Structure 1
């Protein structure tokens, strides 16, 4: 589970904060949906979720359901389990920069500000992915059949957002990454 210690006061959020490993958020939600949530709540010691703490990074990724688990797995493989805040926008870097969704831009910057204040992040990690539907919706581009052009377009968007982060928050580092549909990740500088 990622570091979602945002001060929520309901019992489920406290339980979720304390769950680790195989009995994580997804297992809790599955049990809750099947009617086992009450048993899990009574069997799991409640831990207070602190609103402040230190995490290494804030991750921005796309909402694409095909890569939610791959993104978490990638961050876990980097040794960053529970050491990042996670923001999700369709298109990731594109969602945070497109003029077609100005509220998303504002939400992204608000999240950066809050992540710095609450969790003292040191960097922003931006993870775009191949075959992204947001690029079709916002830019009218279907790039999945031209991987070279696809990487060029994503790299341009990633660099655009990275430059904005560095301009607004020169104290933060920025990583720009492109994930394939198999979960593999490459740097985009």
Structure 2
């Protein structure tokens, strides 16, 4: 008799599995997401509805894992390279990865109770188009999903960086998308609009 395969872990089940200590007011999770405005409200609702209200710090960076993992010299940028910025950069010019790592450090200093980082990437990400794939990614098929592969590669890369600096932290990697695409905080939507936020595991 064939063994039943376990159902894939959903984001809802994952959040419910996180045991938080309500006896103190410190964060226990650091959440990393992209700057895309469409996702703020929906992700916050997901976190809050699953019992994580007041138990996570939220760091926002363009591209989420991509922004914290890329080497921001201009060598990786597609042709034609963008023109030099006419404004003078602040010195020292902090690398985006350094900014992320230093924010993790200060979060841990303020909340020694933080034990995991949750990375939430999202499809149709403008940062991925700007830095990696200007033409965008093709629609996924049952056999190929280049967009998911790109997000997984950057999330895996960031996980290695995090583990190198903070080996005791757990890292959880997810990929979100809006369905339907027009749902967002500036649109009229029903109270259950968070059902339009689909989040799949990148592990």
Q: How does 1:134-149 map to 2 (within 5 A)?
A: 134-141=127-134, 142-143=136-137, 145-146=139-140, 148-149=145-146
Of 95, 98, 111, the match for 1:103: 95
Q: How has the CA–CA distance of structure 1 residues 119 and 144 changed in structure 2, closer, same or farther, with 3 Å as cutoff?
A: farther
Of 136, 153, 157, the match for 1:156: 153
Equivalent pairs counted in the alignment come to: 138
Q: Distance in 1 between matches of 2:138 and 2:55?
A: 32
Instruction: Give the aligned CA root-mean-square deviation in angstroms.
Output: 1.8
Q: Deviations over 1:31-81 (max 9, x none)?
A: xxxxxxxxxxxxxxxxxxxxx952111111000011111111121133211
Which structure's relative contact order is higher, taking Cα pairs within 8 Å and 6+ residues apart? 2
Of 103, 125, 130, the match for 1:132: 125
TM-score, structure 1 normalization: 0.68
Question: Structure 2 regions of 5+ residues with no counterpart?
Answer: 1-23, 74-93, 179-195
Q: Deviations over 1:112-133 (max 9, x none)?
A: 0011110121111111001101
The 8 Å contact of residues 53 and 118 in structure 1, kept in 2 or not, is answered as no
The 8 Å contact of residues 59 and 85 in structure 1, kept in 2 or not, is answered as yes
Higher helix share: 1
Counterpart for residue 198 of structure 2:
184
Q: Distance in 1 between matches of 2:50 and 2:25?
A: 20
TM-score, structure 2 normalization: 0.64
